[in-house]
């Protein structure tokens, strides 16, 4: 989101990112960027109180954290918009949200502000989620768990190719409910901004043209990289790979994208 903010600023637009107090605490303690209490690399930020302390363990209490966000932050965001307008600020022309705060579109509609979704995962996943949560395709169910999914712009997807969120046995607590609320309210979003470029995911993007407009934001511009991190990276794995002289097999994994199987490298 901060990289997108810097791109928009470079075009002469006024941008004010908003995030939670917990996120600010993580950025201040983990980031290598020039970070102060209210700005990162010169970008002014607004912080929302999520009703929890910065020491709250979000990993083990994730459902409670998501519930707290949904209860506290819509009113907080609305108050920020009203305060901005009452103090002579420019009218907001757009609110850009991410998949994990679907209530932002409700606040945008309440204030008559167009809303866009910044989709951070591959466009193929957006297509799968949208079709699943809006019941546009048949997906595996408890009565038919081994069904294959046919989706325009994607190869035939078997059960083992699909994400856990769209399977009957889903272990991820509140996240499916968050995504369900997001994709069933997409009519409130004017645009979907994909963290991609058209040539990379042309079939998945084009397959959604008649359903919801996806606008790729293009290749990442390294010149505007913020260098902001919310967790300190661990170098132990890289050191082990470099310094270990024994012959070993290394498996690299990535979450969130369907890839054709490569039988032999």
What are the 10-residue block averages of pLDDT along the chain, 265 residues in total?
80 84 69 57 74 70 76 87 82 90 92 92 86 91 91 86 85 78 89 74 68 56 52 63 66 50 39
What's residue 34's pLDDT? 53
* CA pair distance 5, 18, nearest whole angstrom: 11
Q: Domain ranges in the chain?
A: 2-243
What's residue 109's pLDDT? 95
Q: What class has domain 2-243?
A: alpha beta
DSSP count for the chain of H helices, then E strands: 8, 8
Q: What are phi and psi of 77, to 5 degrees?
A: -65, -40
Residue written as token pair 């989620």 = 129
* CA pair distance 202, 198, nearest whole angstrom: 5
Task: Kindly give, in sequence order, each residue whose CB lies less than 8 Å from that of residue 16, ignoring residues fewer than 6 positions away.
Answer: 44, 45, 46
In the chain, at which residue ranges do the beta strands (DSSP E only) sit?
A: 18-20, 39-40, 43-44, 46-48, 95-97, 115-119, 191-194, 214-216
Question: Please, are residues 185 and 178 in contact by the beta-carbon 8 Å criterion?
Answer: no
């Amino acid at each position: 989101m901060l990289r997108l903010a810097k791109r928009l600023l470079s075009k002469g637009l006024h941008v004010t990112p908003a995030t939670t107090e917990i996120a600010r605490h993580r950025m201040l303690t983990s980031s290598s960027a020039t970070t102060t209490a209210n700005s990162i690399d010169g970008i002014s930020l607004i912080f929302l109180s999520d009703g929890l302390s910065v020491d709250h363990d979000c990993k083990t209490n994730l459902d409670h954290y998501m519930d707290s966000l949904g209860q506290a932050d819509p009113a907080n965001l609305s108050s920020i918009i009203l305060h901005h307008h009452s103090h002579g600020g420019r009218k907001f022309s757009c609110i850009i949200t991410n998949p994990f705060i679907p209530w932002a579109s409700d606040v945008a509609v309440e204030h008559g502000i167009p809303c866009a979704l910044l989709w951070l995962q591959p466009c193929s996943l957006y297509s799968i989620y949208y079709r699943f949560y809006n019941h546009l395709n048949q997906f595996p169910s408890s009565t038919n768990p081994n069904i294959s999914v046919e989706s325009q712009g994607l190869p035939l997807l078997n059960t083992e190719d699909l994400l856990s969120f769209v399977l009957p046995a889903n272990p991820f607590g509140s996240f499916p409910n968050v995504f369900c609320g997001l994709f069933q309210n997409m009519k409130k979003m004017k645009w979907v901004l994909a963290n991609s470029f058209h040539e990379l995911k042309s079939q998945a993007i084009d397959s959604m043209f008649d359903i919801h407009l996806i606008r790729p934001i293009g290749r990442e511009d390294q010149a505007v990289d913020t260098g902001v991190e919310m967790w300190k990276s661990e170098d132990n794995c890289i050191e082990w790979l470099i310094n270990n002289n024994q012959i070993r097999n290394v498996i690299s994994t990535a979450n969130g994208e369907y890839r054709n199987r490569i039988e032999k490298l």
